[in-house]
Amino acid sequence: MANNKTLCFKCNKEKITYSCEGCSKHFCLMDLTEHRQTLNNELQLITNEYNEFKQRINEQRQNPHNHSLMNQINQWEIKSIEKIQQKAQEYREILNKSSQTCTNDIEKKFNNLREEIKQYQQENEFNEINLNYLRTQLIEIGKELKNPSNVSIQPNPQPLINDISIILSKTSKFNKWKQNAITVAGGNGRGQELNQLYGPRGIFVDKNKNLFIADYWNHHIVEWKRNVKEGQIIAGGNGEGNRMDQLSYPTDVIVDQQNHSIIIADCGNRRVIRYLNENQQTLIDDIDCFGLAMDKHGFLYASDYKKHEVRRWKMGEYNNEGIIVAGGNGKGNQLNQFDLPSFIFVDEDQSVYVTDRDNHRVMKWRKDAREGKIVAGGNGKGWNLNQLSHPLGVIVDDLDQIYVADCNNNRIMRWCEGKEEGEIVVGEKGEGNKPNQLNGPVGLSFDDEGNLYVADYINHRIQKFEIIL
């Protein structure tokens, strides 16, 4: 508001004017009132359009048969049936005409045979040979009547109708998220209190949006339920150690939601352990495990950052060495090698995505493949859009879009397989502790609504970036 007289944008007169924050123009009091009324009218129009759109959505939900493509399918059905009916009638007419001709021929042969029979009867001169001949002729005529030799049906290799297909397009939606995150765990400085974290790494969000965190420097796993101000220690919490009730530098955690067990990469103790109903069990030992994943069939996957490989175990069969599904050819930068594999993700087809940290790339290994494919980075360490710098967390959505925690670049990247470069999803503002900044992002996870969770390692917090619908 200004008390000095300035030029009104509407009436073009020197008056006491008031600034509109939306358009940054100045209006006198009378014209400002009219301007506000115009804005109210536009809002009402938008509201009306929204209500119409909402009504259309409800109608489509209640009447899915009114889908715009449904008419095309119905028309295809009608035209195909008409074409089949026309062809069938054409074939009937051909068959009727052919059958009539065949019947006439048979009737002619039958009449000739009748005349021969009459002649034998009148002359009364016949023997067994003549009778066998008559009988054979009668049988042959009967066969011809039953199965006319000049009529048959054969399949046509050329299709009568043009088939159609329903193609469910897998076009990327390119979701976006609010750039200012909400802190849903930690954010109160580093420490051991229940409202604090100390270097969170791997995270997991279950179907109830409960958050499980591998609290690296505190040597425990904490669960933060929705909308709470502090977490609850559910594994470890008894100081660093190798007892079953202790952990040492846990790097990742996943939840087996079938039996509600917690599976932990207990990195410092070189083991993978499971907590089930307060009972602890070592699943895999003698492994320098960094990341964990479980596929829809219940197979457990673990990366070994010292052996530069990823192995898979069948549920309940953890007493063996598992099967190598990625890497296993020593340290290196070839397509069949890793240089410190860290976090992993397994998709519906059992393809394994691995962040190859010190090669600054993400690799995809299809099931039973002998080498991987670079799907993100792979152009050396850097901050350009075709590069990564010590990537860690990785997740893949249902459209096969790959999300990477680009740790040293303090950003989350999205890559589409086959593209030469990615795009920044969140973290464009560089290193920092503001809501729109990250500092050493590590773990990643989505909830069932598509909200993005990031373990902000150096800021000792978990950030939730809400999806923009």
154 within domain boundaries: no
Q: State pLDDT tens for residues 313-372.
A: 998 888 888 999 999 999 999 999 999 999 999 999 999 999 999 999 999 999 999 999
The total of other beta-carbon atoms located within 10 Å of residue 467's CB is 14
Judge residue 78's burial from the number of C-beta atoms within 10 Å of its C-beta, 0-12 exposed, 13-18 middle, 19 or more buried: exposed
The span from the CA of 377 to the CA of 356, in Å, is 10
Q: Is 304 a member of any domain?
A: yes
The answer to the question of residue 332 being in a domain is yes
Instruction: Check the CA dihedral 318-323-328-333 and report its sign.
Output: negative
Q: Is the pLDDT of residue 202 over 50?
A: yes
Pick the most confident of 129-133, 159-163, 428-432, 458-462: 458-462
User: Which position has the token pair 């020593």?
Assistant: 330
Strand-pair category, 373-377 with 467-468? unpaired
> Is there a single domain that holds both residue 51 and residue 184?
no
Tens of pLDDT, residues 30-63: 999 999 998 899 889 888 888 887 787 777 677 7
Which pLDDT score is estimated for 149? 57
Predicted confidence at residue 159, as pLDDT, reads: 75
Residue 387 in domain = yes
Q: Comparing C-alpha atoms, which of 302, 295, 259, 294 is closest to residue 279?
A: 259
> What CATH code is carried by the domain that includes residue 351?
2.120.10.30
Q: Which residues contact 47 (CB under 8 A, 6 or more apart)?
A: none
C-alpha 203/C-alpha 215 separation (Å) is: 9
- b/e per residue 145-183 (b: at least 16 CB within 10 A): eeebeeeeeeeeeeeeeeeeeeeeeeeeeebebbeebee
Beta strands (DSSP E) in 314-460 are: 323-327, 341-346, 352-356, 361-365, 373-377, 391-396, 401-406, 411-416, 423-426, 441-446, 452-456
Q: Is the pLDDT of residue 67 over 70?
A: no
| Domain around 445 | 178-468
Picking from 65-79, 176-190, 313-327, 443-457, which range would have the lowest pLDDT averaged per residue?
Answer: 65-79
Residue 366's nearest CA partner among 390, 341, 349 is 349
* Boundary-marking domain end, from 14, 35, 60: 60
Q: Is residue 99 part of a domain?
A: no
Q: Which residue, 143, 264, 157, is CA-closest to 201? A: 264
Mean pLDDT, rounded, of the chain: 89
Residue 119 has pLDDT above 90, yes or no: no
145 in any annotated domain: no
pLDDT-based confidence at 412, cuts 50/70/90? very high
Tell me what percent of the residues of the chain surpass a pLDDT of 90. 57
Is the pTM value of this prediction over 0.85? no
Distance CA 87, CA 94 (A): 11
Mean pLDDT of 250-273: 93
- C-alpha–C-alpha distance, residues 283 and 398, integer Å: 30
pLDDT at 1: 42
d(CA 16, CA 9): 12
Mean pLDDT of all residues in 240-244: 94
Answer with the one of 60, 86, 102 that is the final residue of a domain: 60
- The residue with greater pLDDT, 406 or 46, is 406
Q: Which of 60, 81, 101 is the endpoint of a domain? A: 60
Separation of alpha carbons 408 and 423, rounded Å: 16
The count of other CB atoms within 10 Å of the CB of residue 403 is: 24
Whether the pLDDT of residue 377 is over 60: the answer is yes
- Flag whether 399 is in a domain: yes
What is the model's pLDDT at position 219? 97
Asked whether residue 153 is domain-assigned, the answer is no
Domain count, the chain: 2
pLDDT confidence of 66, banded at 50, 70, 90?
low
